[in-house]
Amino acid sequence: MFGKLFGRKKENEPRAERPAPQVQGPEYVRFIGTCLGNAIKIGEDYGEVLDYTPASIPAVSRILDGYHQRYLHPEEDQGLIRNKADAFASVFGVYIGETLLRCHPNSGYGWAEKEGFGLVVAKGDGYHIDAIAKATKQIVNGRENGDEVESFFHVAEQLMEGTFRPGR
């Protein structure tokens, strides 16, 4: 009954083939979407809420700390983290970058591909923020060696706000 009211076809009738929507813009847009979806899902798996707020960055840091422990002890996961460190760093680096952009929408920064760096948050040809590299460093080196994303995030916010003063 409702099928006729709303113009739905019966299940046994052939469906019209529709072409897939065309993605406009740079190829990395799809990559960003995939990374963000994976970050949210992994966060849920870890019991963490990733909601694109500065308050979610400590949760990302905790997840990266777990990856670092696995990186230090590859025998515990048959070395899988060593093969996947770049992928996990991309997922959470993109999440950090997107959080920065959402929290500072009028900063003039946006996603860009920079030669020699890859995907970064950048403002024209000037400053760029490489959150993927920082996530990689936290996985490989750990926060105990000064590589952690929380302080990185706060410095990046200052840079985007125009209040960063080197040497502070």
Which tens digit of pLDDT belongs to each residue from 156-168? 999 999 898 876 5
Structure tokens that stand for 134 in this block: 């920082």
Which tens digit of pLDDT belongs to each residue from 122-162? 998 878 999 999 999 999 999 888 789 999 999 999 999 98
Which residues make Cβ contacts (< 8 Å) with residue 130, sequence separation at least 6?
93, 117, 118, 120
Strand order in the sheet with 110-114: 110-114, 118-122, 128-129
pTM (2 decimals)?
A: 0.82
CA separation for the pair 118, 132 (Å, rounded): 9
pLDDT of residue 103: 97
Residue 13 CA from chain centroid, whole number = 42
pLDDT of residue 78: 83
Q: Domain segments of the chain: what residues?
A: 26-161
E-strand stretches of the chain: 110-114, 118-122, 128-129
Which tens digit of pLDDT belongs to each residue from 8-22? 333 343 333 434 344
Structure tokens that stand for 50 in this block: 């990733």
Answer yes or no: is pLDDT of 24 > 80: no
Which tens digit of pLDDT belongs to each residue from 42-97? 999 999 999 999 999 999 999 999 999 999 888 888 878 888 999 999 999 999 99
pLDDT of residue 147: 84
